[in-house]
Amino acid sequence: MDASAVTLALNLIYHIAVLALVGLGLGIVFGLLGVMNMAHGEFIALGAYAMLAVQNHGLAPGYGVALAVLGTAALGYPVERWLVRPLRSRPLDTLLATWGLSLLLRKSIEAVFGRQYQNVSNNLSGTSTLLGAEYPDYRLLLIVVIFVGFALLALWYRRSPAGARLQASVANRPLAQAIGIDVDRQACVAFVCGVASAGLAGALLAPLVRVEPLMGMDYLLDSFFVLVVGGLGSLSGLAAGSGIIGGTQVVVSTISDQTGGYVAVLLLSIGFLWLRPNGLLARR
């Protein structure tokens, strides 16, 4: 098999996997709960900066991941309780409030860490040979982790009692309440998990990307377009959206350049808004 074809395929898989990882948080918060969290990108950034902070203090990266997840979760609770929940029936105000939150988080990061680009070191910086092509180890690890993680998540969501209860409260809130499910607490837990997964994504991606205060913006837009195309409310929608957007980005940027990929994604999303406003596999 041709090594460059394998590399292209791996790049494609990697890109789609990362999109799914990054989009999961917004898929939970917006796709499932209906809260447009404009600060989604900033929670990812916080995860990356957690790794940076841990590195600056000379601790092992494992602590960074823990800090990223726990820190964003801890932040997510008051945000859900005092910013999101009171605005539950006012989507435009939610968008504004979370936009303000995104600003706050960005400026706080700037105040603490500064505006310059920083780097988190990659402890797994070797490469392996796969089917004749050399590919960075860390990326391979990420691909595996993401696929396994999603498989487990899908299993949990579709098979476990807790997953069924979550599906129930999202699909038919009054009935869920009638049978005794505390839907407010469910929504809170789901939101916290959503932002924590964003933090996790940031922590995992940190060694591979530029860490700077504005890094979250692109992730927010990517995640949003993935959901617009794939459909809100389901893991399969997230997967489908990641596939289509990721595929478009990789293919078009190989042909022209990265900006071309950006334009293609934008046009694709607007097209979907026209033709299939609920996305490909919507369930909400």
Binding segment for another protein (CB under 8 A), chosen from 128-136, 173-181, 191-199, 243-251, is 173-181
> Does 113 help bind another protein (rule: CB under 8 A)?
no
| 137 lies in the site for another protein, by CB under 8 A | no
Q: Which is nearer to another protein, 60 or 179 (CB)?
A: 179
The CA–CA distances, whole Å, from 269 to 103, 168, 202, 226, 265 equal 25, 29, 24, 8, 6
> Min. distance of Cβ 67 from another protein in angstroms?
21
| Contact string 242-281 vs another protein (x = CB under 8 A) | -----------------x--xx--x--xx--xx--x----
Considering the complex, what minimum distance in angstroms separates the CB of residue 122 from another protein? 26
Q: Between residues 211 and 226, which has the closer beta carbon with respect to another protein?
A: 226
Q: Can residue 134 be called a binding residue for another protein (CB under 8 A)?
A: no
Question: Is residue 228 involved in binding another protein (CB under 8 A)?
Answer: yes
Using CB under 8 A as the criterion, which residues of the chain lie in contact with another protein when the complex forms?
36, 83, 91-93, 95-97, 99-101, 103-104, 106-108, 110-111, 161, 164-165, 167-168, 171-172, 174-183, 214, 217-218, 220-221, 224-225, 228, 259, 262-263, 266, 269-270, 273-274, 277, 283
